[in-house]
A and B are shown apart, each in its own frame.
Chain A
Amino acid sequence: MQEPDTFWEFVSGQWAKLGEQTLQHLGLTLFSLTIAVIVGVPLGIFIARNRKIAPSVLNITGILQTIPSMALLGFMIPLLGIGPKPAIFALFLYALLPIVRNTYIGITGVDADIKEAASGMGMTPAQSLFKVEIPLAFPVIMGGIRTATTINVGVATLAAYIAAGGLGEFIFGGISLNNTNMILAGAIPAALLAVLLDFLLAQLQKVNLAKVRKMLFAFPVALLVFSLIYAFRTAEDKRLLAGFTPEFMGRQDGFLGLQQKYGFDMRTVVIDDAMMYKALYEKKLDVISGYSTDGRIKAFDLVALTDDKHIFPPYYAAPVVREKILQKYPEVEDALNLLSGRINDSIMTELNYKADYLHQNPEAIAKEFLQSQKLWKAPRQNPKGKIVIGSKIFGEQYILSAMYAMLIKGYTNLDVATKTGLGGTKICFDALTNKQIDLYPEYTGTGFLVLLQPDEKTVNGLIKDKNAVYDFVSKEFRSRYGLKWLKPIGFNNAYVLMMRKKHAEELRVSTISDLLQLNHN
């Protein structure tokens, strides 16, 4: 196993990227905050002066606050596309409630006698507002702005899901790659940013507003200037745009390999898997990273580009089983191998399409398929033992584990329990080695690169050959963990770059090299 880098090694290696992400993060937070202050404070004052409409305004901002961040970002794509615009808008909506509410509370909380004294002494409503009410409500208003800032620094990490950048790129990349240093490289600066901004605003909160009117102007002006610089940096660009997941960005067999082998230099943004296909379909992106058996290829009418320099390793699916179980119940192996060679890429894509896009029940899909292959048998009576099947948390794995359950029940005298939705690779694998489950479907590439993590020489030597990879993982899993890889099912769920089918045809692009050629012209 490779010695993992220390946190500092990672940070010093990624210094430039970290700086840019931090700047983007700060930009997203402050830009959205500035708009929220510009809209929220006057709105709060307005409803403080028109109390009848206050409950409805506060309720609306409250409801906005309860929309899950991911859902809100999803709604934004058709309206505002991807990138900073929808992120800033979503952050603006989140920042609104604390600012409006605290302004309202602050202004209405000013002692009625003080307000009466102000007007009784001959101040106009505007003079009373600016000389008395706002200065007295200022600490409360600032409290709201501080809350909004902290919320925004946190929510801004999600901006990485819609190609708006920020420290979320490291955080979510690190989570997908099981790379703690990468997570920390995003999480620690984000936390420091929240603490720092809160500290600065706390200093401002203590200021006696009546004394330093100049500062009152300096603050929004500084924010505005910063925001404008940020806005210019993210100006519109007509070139082709690629959107990759945080995981893909960090992988040797992903973006890093694309750069090294193909000299990949397209304009690239980081985006969440769930948003990516939609953004491609909506023409907000031109190229995305994906999986070759994804049902959405069919749903969105996409085409996979040929990996002509073979950088994406093979990801052939096969069941991984504990050897102890096979010794105890040898008949299980035969039952599981019944599926071998039955499902190719296009069949798997079709099955995934039914699960992910038509939202059919994975078990119904599994049963229908097995019946069409004449493999389905009714479960036997009076089972004498039990097998536990696990699966990762996506449709393809649900379908495969359902098929295995049916095969075991139909062809052996064993009962089956399923533990589906075991987060990611690491969780599934740990459950297997800790005997929480007896088998789950795994991919050769994942076993090779993520679980075994061999040295670079081994990787380069084997990666292009699907049989070599299968043999390597079979041997290593047996000797290291006492786990057996059964026969591959047939399909290869590998990384691919894909485009809209029509777009690819228009541009006459069918391989990754074609794409880069086009990008250079």
Chain B
Amino acid sequence: MIEVSNVSKSFGKNAAVDNISFTVKKGEKLILLGVSGCGKTTTLKMLNKLIDVSSGTISIDGTDIQDQPAEKLRRNMGYVLQRNSLFPHFTVLENIAVVPNLLYWEKSRIDERAKVLLEKFHLPQERLLAYPKELSGGEAQRVNLARALAADPPILLMDEPFSALDTITRKAMRNEFVELGEFKEKTIVMVTHDVQEAFEIGDRICLMDGGKIIQIGTPKQLLFAPINDFVRDFLSNSYLQLLLTVTRCCDIWKFLDDNQQAANENDKAFSAEISVAAALERFKDKNDTDQKIRMRCLDSVKMLSVSDLLQGFANYKAKTDART
């Protein structure tokens, strides 16, 4: 568990971070969201002592990080940078081996771990001997993530890990990463300026501006109960998309039309725990009105088309708005 209390950081006279406090529970994904210069990256780098705090305390699992050597602290925290920061003179394998080597792992154990990671990130094994310049942008970022996860650290710090990728690769990488077993176990603090990304990955979002925390809460809390106009305005541009992201198919289940007649037991059934936005992603061609997917919520299974989902979502929205 990470506890940040009353932390400030100033560079000269400029306060980059101004008296912030928050906690991140074990296994939780916290997103530091905000525009450039809001202090989110500074906050992240204070967690692994790349930047020292000016005042306040940060403790991890009850120990003040000031009482630990920086190197030891960092070897137990994966760190993923914004741009491609693989060591160009090392192969993929050597890049992945950096932290395990610093922790004196045995070579066979490192090799084994590298193979497993490549498999998880859907990279062919022969890539282990490739140099970073031979990798595509997507592959490089996968290796970058694999490297951070190599020694299986309980905490992962990520600084805009997907921002260097093109929109399509970025979306695919994000989905892939969220699905990853390793991801689910980790305590993650991630910096981003992309609202959609924050909503998809974060359990909680910490919206910052001018070095201060404006609001911290779940995506739903930010969207439905913004504490001021800043938060409202920040989210307004992609409001509908965010709404589809925070609403799960389970939430709108009873508003969905059931087309039992087309049910086919052999089709794979998706869990309705996913967001409406994610469910819409499942349709290969969103213009094909006949295409349907099979979805399960608890014991009930429904065959749904794009229009079924949108219709159900509209009905649900109308109902909940009327209630409040």
CB–CB B89/A209 < 8 A: yes
Known: A114-B87, A127-B102, A210-B94. A120 touches B81 (CB 8 A): yes
Among B71, B87, B89, point to the contact of A117 (Cβ < 8 A).
B87
**With an 8 A cutoff between CB atoms, is B98 at the interface?**
yes
Q: Which of A262-282 contact B (CB under 8 A)?
A: none
List, in ascending order, chain B residues with CB within 8 A of A209's CB: 89
**With an 8 A cutoff between CB atoms, is B72 at the interface?**
yes
Q: Which of A104-124 contact B (CB under 8 A)?
A: 111, 113-114, 116-124
Known: A113-B82, A210-B94. A121 touches B74 (CB 8 A): yes
Chain A, 129-159, contact with B by CB distance < 8 Å: what is the 0/1 string? 0001001100000000000000000000000
CB–CB B50/A120 < 8 A: yes
List, in ascending order, chain A residues with CB within 8 A of B98's CB: 121, 123
Tell me the minimal C-beta distance from B130 to chain A in angstroms.
Answer: 14
Q: Which of A204-227 contact B (CB under 8 A)?
A: 208-210
B71: nearest residue on chain A (CB-CB)?
A: A122
CB–CB A120/B48 < 8 A: yes
List, in ascending order, chain A residues with CB within 8 A of B248's CB: none
Q: Complex Cα distance A19/B238, Å?
A: 81
List, in ascending order, chain B residues with CB within 8 A of A124's CB: 71
- Interface residue tally of chain B, by bracket? 20 to 34
Among A123, A135, A136, point to the contact of B102 (Cβ < 8 A).
A123
Q: Which of A418-475 contact B (CB under 8 A)?
A: none
**With an 8 A cutoff between CB atoms, is B99 at the interface?**
yes
Number of A-B residue pairs having CB atoms within 8 Å of each other in the complex: 56
CB–CB B82/A114 < 8 A: no
Q: Which of A351-387 contact B (CB under 8 A)?
A: none
Chain B, 43-77, contact with A by CB distance < 8 Å: what is the 0/1 string? 00000101000000000000000000011111100
CB–CB B71/A123 < 8 A: yes
**With an 8 A cutoff between CB atoms, is B90 at the interface?**
yes
CB–CB A121/B89 < 8 A: no
Q: Complex Cα distance A136/B88, Å?
A: 8
List, in ascending order, chain A residues with CB within 8 A of B147's CB: 121
List, in ascending order, chain A residues with CB within 8 A of B71's CB: 122-124
**With an 8 A cutoff between CB atoms, is B199 at the interface?**
no
CB–CB B74/A120 < 8 A: yes
Among B48, B70, B83, B89, point to the contact of A113 (Cβ < 8 A).
B83
B147: nearest residue on chain A (CB-CB)?
A: A121
Tell me the minimal C-beta distance from B69 to chain A in angstroms.
Answer: 9
**With an 8 A cutoff between CB atoms, is B175 at the interface?**
no
Known: A121-B75, A121-B79, A121-B99. A114 touches B88 (CB 8 A): yes
Among B81, B88, B99, point to the contact of A122 (Cβ < 8 A).
B99
Q: Complex Cα distance A132/B86, Å?
A: 11
**With an 8 A cutoff between CB atoms, is B241 at the interface?**
no
Known: A121-B74, A121-B102. A136 touches B89 (CB 8 A): yes
**With an 8 A cutoff between CB atoms, is B6 at the interface?**
no
List, in ascending order, chain B residues with CB within 8 A of A136's CB: 87-89
Q: Complex Cα distance A127/B71, Å?
A: 11
Tell me the minimal C-beta distance from A141 to chain B in angstroms.
Answer: 14
Most central of B82, B86, B90 by chain A CB within 10 Å? B90
List, in ascending order, chain B residues with CB within 8 A of A121's CB: 74-75, 79, 98-99, 102, 147
List, in ascending order, chain B residues with CB within 8 A of A135's CB: 89
**With an 8 A cutoff between CB atoms, is B163 at the interface?**
no
List, in ascending order, chain A residues with CB within 8 A of B236's CB: none
A111: nearest residue on chain B (CB-CB)?
A: B85
CB–CB B88/A117 < 8 A: no
Among A116, A123, A127, point to the contact of B85 (Cβ < 8 A).
A116
Q: Complex Cα distance A272/B86, Å?
A: 56
Tell me the minimal C-beta distance from A220 to chain B in angstroms.
Answer: 21
Among A119, A127, A208, point to the contact of B50 (Cβ < 8 A).
A119
A209: nearest residue on chain B (CB-CB)?
A: B89
List, in ascending order, chain B residues with CB within 8 A of A116's CB: 50, 81, 85
Chain A, 473-492, contact with B by CB distance < 8 Å: what is the 0/1 string? 00000000000000000000
List, in ascending order, chain A residues with CB within 8 A of B72's CB: 122
Known: A119-B50, A120-B74, A122-B74. A208 touches B83 (CB 8 A): no
Chain B, 151-163, contact with A by CB distance < 8 Å: what is the 0/1 string? 0000000000000
CB–CB B74/A132 < 8 A: no
Known: A121-B98, A122-B71, A122-B99. A114 touches B50 (CB 8 A): no
List, in ascending order, chain A residues with CB within 8 A of B81's CB: 113, 116-117, 120
Most central of B48, B72, B73 by chain A CB within 10 Å? B48
Tell me the minimal C-beta distance from A487 to chain B in angstroms.
Answer: 79
CB–CB B75/A122 < 8 A: yes
Known: A113-B81, A116-B50, A117-B79. A122 touches B102 (CB 8 A): yes
B76: nearest residue on chain A (CB-CB)?
A: A122
Tell me the minimal C-beta distance from A216 to chain B in angstroms.
Answer: 13
Q: Complex Cα distance A118/B48, Å?
A: 13
Known: A113-B85, A114-B85, A127-B102. A120 touches B79 (CB 8 A): yes
B101: nearest residue on chain A (CB-CB)?
A: A131
List, in ascending order, chain B residues with CB within 8 A of A118's CB: 87
Tell me the minimal C-beta distance from B106 to chain A in angstroms.
Answer: 18
Known: A113-B82, A116-B50. A210 touches B90 (CB 8 A): yes
Q: Complex Cα distance A114/B197, Å?
A: 25
B131: nearest residue on chain A (CB-CB)?
A: A208
Q: Complex Cα distance A116/B86, Å?
A: 11
Q: Complex Cα distance A113/B73, Å?
A: 19
Tell me the minimal C-beta distance from B74 to chain A in angstroms.
Answer: 4
List, in ascending order, chain A residues with CB within 8 A of B75's CB: 121-122
Tell me the minimal C-beta distance from A492 to chain B in angstroms.
Answer: 71
Among A120, A122, A132, point to the contact of B87 (Cβ < 8 A).
A132
Q: Complex Cα distance A124/B102, Å?
A: 10
Known: A122-B71, A123-B71, A210-B94. A117 touches B85 (CB 8 A): yes
* Known pairs A119-B74, A121-B102 / 5 extra A-B pairs, C-beta < 8 Å: A117-B87, A121-B74, A122-B73, A122-B99, A123-B98
Contact surface of B with A, Cβ cutoff 8 Å: 48, 50, 70-75, 79, 81-90, 94, 98-99, 102, 147
28 contacts between A and B (CB under 8 A): A111-B85, A113-B81, A113-B83, A114-B87, A116-B50, A117-B85, A117-B87, A119-B50, A119-B70, A119-B74, A120-B79, A121-B75, A121-B79, A121-B98, A121-B147, A122-B71, A122-B72, A122-B73, A122-B74, A122-B99, A123-B71, A123-B98, A127-B102, A135-B89, A136-B87, A209-B89, A210-B90, A210-B94
Contact surface of A with B, Cβ cutoff 8 Å: 111, 113-114, 116-124, 127, 132, 135-136, 208-210
Please provide the 4 A-B residue pairs with the shortest distance between their CB atoms, ordered closest to farther.
A122-B75, A122-B74, A117-B85, A120-B79
